[in-house]
Chains A and B, each alone.
Chain A
Amino acid sequence: MNHFCKEANQLQSDGFERKLTLTERIQLRIHLLICGACRNYSDNIKLLHTVLRDLRKGGRVDESIALPEKDRTRIGEALKNDSNS
């Protein structure tokens, strides 16, 4: 017997990228009812998707990261040269 987990996971990922067909939605829903592992998978990738979306919307950035001094100097000079030319 084929457990359909592999196919179900492709469908779950596709659900973020496109609208699933009715058949696909039904197949997926039935599989999730009977498969705890795939329910966990579903929750895991939803969490991952949400975290990445929140980070994209300007989630917390590490304030301790700063432009290194040598780069700052280099960029400053590049700007000066450019505005003089």
Chain B
Amino acid sequence: MTKETSNPEQWLNDHGDYLYRYGMSKLHNEEQAADMVQETLLAAWRGWNNFAGNSSVRTWLVGILKHKIIDHIRKEIRDRNLTEAVETDPTSSLFNADGSWVDAPRSWKENPEDLCGSDQFQSVLQECIGKLPDKQQIVFTMREVIGEDSDTICKEAEVTSTHLHVLIHRARLALRTCLEFNWFGGSRQS
């Protein structure tokens, strides 16, 4: 191992921006993203002996950062005491009493490649995720933004898998409505 690669200040120089961007893409919060970078670099420095050297330093750092972000979300669950939070059924306003749509979803014409490449779309998406009720937001973020497996999420959020599926379903419904209104049509329609 060269002296340079085991220097945490060098890591900050070389990978600080990258790690910060990664944190921002998951947390959408400047202060939290910067804190995660600091925690990651400190943990990496203390655990330098564990670096196997079979991946790049950047990959190793991102791995640590990912765990830090999940820990952070766990802490949020505890702090906001979400297990006690009342979860209301948001579907009631979207469906008539007979189970039909109040506003029928429209067809979206855009393709994934264009959407992924659009900073504007990503910021609308982040805004919409940020508007979800706490518990939906956390389980949806863990599942679809971070890509955590269901078992882990159930354990962390203290929900059964059936409840998890209901929460994710509600999050999808709400997100779809928010995106239709703010991006795919709705208010943007000329």
Chain B interface mostly: helix
Contact string against B for A residues 49-85, beta-carbon threshold 8 Å, 1 for contact and 0 otherwise: 1111111100111110111100110111011101100
Interface residues on chain B, number (Cβ under 8 Å): 57
A78 touches B42 (CB 8 A): yes
A-B pair number, CB within 8 angstroms: 144
Q: Please, which residues of chain B bring their CB within 8 A of the CB of A50?
A: 112
A19 at the interface (CB under 8 A from B): no
A83 touches B8 (CB 8 A): yes
User: A51 and B112 in contact (CB under 8 A), knowing A14-B165, A61-B21?
Assistant: yes
B176 touches A48 (CB 8 A): yes
Partner-B contacts on A (CB < 8 A):
1-7, 9-10, 13-14, 16-18, 36-38, 40-41, 43-45, 47-56, 59-63, 65-68, 71-72, 74-76, 78-80, 82-83
Partner-A contacts on B (CB < 8 A):
8-9, 12, 16-17, 19-22, 24-25, 30, 34, 37-38, 41-42, 45-46, 91, 95-96, 98-101, 104-108, 110, 112-113, 115-117, 119, 122, 125, 144-147, 150, 161, 164-166, 168-169, 172-173, 175-176, 179-180
